[in-house]
Structure 1
Amino acid sequence: MSEKIYRIGEAAELLNLKTHVLRFWETEFPQLAPSRTDKGQRLYTEADVTLLRRIQQLLHEQGMTIEGARRLLEGSAVLDENLPARVTAVPDPTFMQMVIREITAVRRLLAGRS
């Protein structure tokens, strides 16, 4: 059985990304070089899609820069797995109310000093 091949739209849909993002990443990550048809259409292998997922994780979940992700994929940098992933959750409303009360109290204290 042959390996599954994805056109750019299919690969983008799998990753929930726009096709222009994949084309841009091709210019930034030399490891990402999908084959092309005679008409120039990009064909991504399973290995390409795996690499795309890794790039997506590094950039979108770990919050790395393109340069940092490129160096990591090239092997010239190491990812510190102890670093927290980028936080995308909505803060706890009770906690946020407490923070606002504390900030308001600090502002009052500072206003009284002037």
Structure 2
Amino acid sequence: MSDAGDTLVRDGKAPDALRTIGEVAAALGIRQHVLRYWEEQFPMLKPLKRSGGRRYYRPEDIALVETIDRLVHKEGYTLKGAKGVLSGKGAKVALAATPVTISSEAPAIPLAPQPAEGGVPVEQLVAIRDRLAAALDA
């Protein structure tokens, strides 16, 4: 991880100063409601809450938010996958959270005109695949 205060040093505060949710949101380019949602989803993200429920982020909270943002928005993890990585569940979760690319192009698989398992003729399956591909293009 980077030094916890690197991102926000330019705001005129000391690197170890507490920052409000608005300051963190502006500095990292993340909306405040997203930060509040991440607090619910990531139990390790717990900013200080003072009177009236006002949130104050410590440098380690900011570093964690930066890491979550990197995992979710740059590396393509789901929230569940990012939570697994951060909680140390290792490669099993990392593999499960690998981003999936969905293509609308039908795969070029040579098909023989014989019934598939289950008795459905391949021609019917090809027709269904073509209709689905056409619906995706529409």
User: TM-score, normalised on structure 1?
Assistant: 0.66
**Aligned residue in 1 for 2:56:** 43
Partner of 1:97: none
- 5+ residue gaps, structure 1, are 86-114
Match of 1:34 among 26, 31, 47: 47
Q: What SS does structure 2 have at the residue aligned with 1:31?
A: coil
Q: Which has the higher contact order (CA 8 A, sep 6+)?
A: 1
Task: Name 1:52's counterpart in structure 2.
Answer: 65
CA RMSD, 1 decimal:
2.0
Residues 1:6 and 2:14 aligned together: no
Q: Pick from 80, 84, 90: which aligns with 1:71?
A: 84
Aligned to 1:101: none
Letter in 1 for 2:49: R
Where structure 2 has 5 or more consecutive residues not aligned to the other structure, the ranges are 1-13, 100-138
1:15 to 12, 21, 28: 28
Q: Aligned partners of 1:77, 1:36: CA distance in 2, in Å? A: 31
Q: Give runs of ≥4 in structure 1 deviating > 3 Å.
A: none
Q: Which has the higher helix share?
A: 1
Preserved contact between residue 72 and residue 79 of structure 2 (Cα < 8 Å)? yes
Q: TM-score, normalised by structure 2?
A: 0.55
What is the aligned residue count?
82
